[in-house]
Amino acid sequence: MFKYISEIDFSLPEELLDQVRAEGSAFSGNTRNPIYKQITNLITNGYFDNKAVDTFTLKDEFSQDVSIPRSELLEIIQRFNKWQNTQTRPLGRFVEKSLDLKLQKEIIKHLPKCLQDLSPVVAVQTKKIGTFNVPPHFDHYRTSTLWYLIHGNDEDTVFWEPTEDFPTYSYWRNGDIDKLTEAGRFCLKEHVWYVFDNSAYHSVESTTSDSSRTTLCIEFDNISANKLYDLYDRSRT
């Protein structure tokens, strides 16, 4: 039974993977800068220190205003700082780019038809060299992915389950570290395809100072990972 993440036997032609490697290294495509990244950067840069605001407004990646009440902002800052205080390594910064549409179409053509019909998006995620950690969160843009590690070393992906309720926000999806318990830990292998549950709380823990990562993600925002795994599995029989 699928739980959090599982290997699958999917593959892409090497010439397509070579194009993705070139795209990823050049950071081409549309950069994603959702509200949660903007808020996290402001917190880590001390923007809110000694600053009293009743409502704070940011623009999302679609240039729409998102207004955040002070009560929510204080909860977010407290939750982020609580996680930071448990860490001996700095926050990891990921850069996410959608691939150009032509390359996306070429990749999607290799999926089973039942998955093509779900209108997936293909993106590359990179993280620079350094010993970084990423807090427990669940993802924006995607509920599940076909996930492929192009390059990476010495990182654990950790899945978490809530032990009690805490507030969640559509624009910022980090968990409360005091109300989560570790549920599974995986060291993902290069050049292997996985079905990944992006709707579950997960974190990333680097273990070496030269850790870096480039990941190819075929993203779905309309199906659970469990259903994605089952659909793919049935398509192979």
Q: What percent of the chain has pLDDT over 70?
A: 95
Mean pLDDT of the chain: 89
Half-sphere exposure of 205 (CA within 13 A, CB side): 16
Q: What local confidence, expressed as pLDDT, does residue 213 receive? A: 87
Whether 181 shows a pLDDT value over 90: the answer reads yes
Average pLDDT over residues 176-203: 96
Average pLDDT over residues 91-96: 82
CA distances from 221 to 1, 152, 170, 209, 232 (A): 21, 25, 14, 33, 16
Q: What local confidence, expressed as pLDDT, does residue 27 receive? A: 47
Whether 24 shows a pLDDT value over 70: the answer reads no
Average pLDDT over residues 101-120: 95
Whether 62 shows a pLDDT value over 70: the answer reads yes
- Residue pLDDT, tens place only, 161-171: 999 999 989 89
Whether 91 shows a pLDDT value over 80: the answer reads yes
Q: What local confidence, expressed as pLDDT, does residue 44 receive? A: 87
- Are β-strands 180-186 and 155-162 bridged in parallel, bridged antiparallel, or unpaired? antiparallel
Average pLDDT over residues 119-124: 94
As assigned by CATH, the class of the 5-32+92-235 domain is mainly beta
- As given in the structure block, the two tokens for residue 109 are 């053509």
Average pLDDT over residues 209-221: 89
Average pLDDT over residues 208-232: 92
Whether 98 shows a pLDDT value over 80: the answer reads yes
Most confident of 31-40, 128-137, 157-166: 157-166
Neighbouring C-beta atoms of residue 72, cutoff 10 Å: 16
**Contact of 178 with 86, CB cutoff 8 Å:** no
Q: What local confidence, expressed as pLDDT, does residue 93 receive? A: 79
* pTM listed for this prediction: 0.91
d(CA 30, CA 14): 24
Q: What local confidence, expressed as pLDDT, does residue 37 receive? A: 85
Average pLDDT over residues 154-162: 93
By C-alpha distance, which of 85, 180, 184 is closest to 136?
180
d(CA 120, CA 56): 33
The 3-state secondary structure of the chain reads: CCCCEEEECCCCCHHHHHHHHHHHHHCCCEECCCHHHHHHHHHHCCCCCCCCCCEEEEECCCCCEEEEEHHHHHHHHHHHHHHHCCCCCCECCEEEEECCHHHHHHHHCCCCHHHHCCCCEEEEEEECCCCCEEEEECCCCCCEEEEEEEEECCEEEEEEEECCCCCCECCECECCHHHEEEEEEECCCECCEEEEECCCEEEEEECCCCCCEEEEEEEECCCCHHHHHHHHHHHCC
Whether 211 shows a pLDDT value over 80: the answer reads no
**Contact of 8 with 232, CB cutoff 8 Å:** yes
Whether 29 shows a pLDDT value over 60: the answer reads no
Q: What percent of the chain has pLDDT over 90?
A: 59
Whether 109 shows a pLDDT value over 90: the answer reads yes
- As given in the structure block, the two tokens for residue 207 are 């273990």
Domain boundaries, the chain: 5-32+92-235
Q: What local confidence, expressed as pLDDT, does residue 9 receive? A: 95
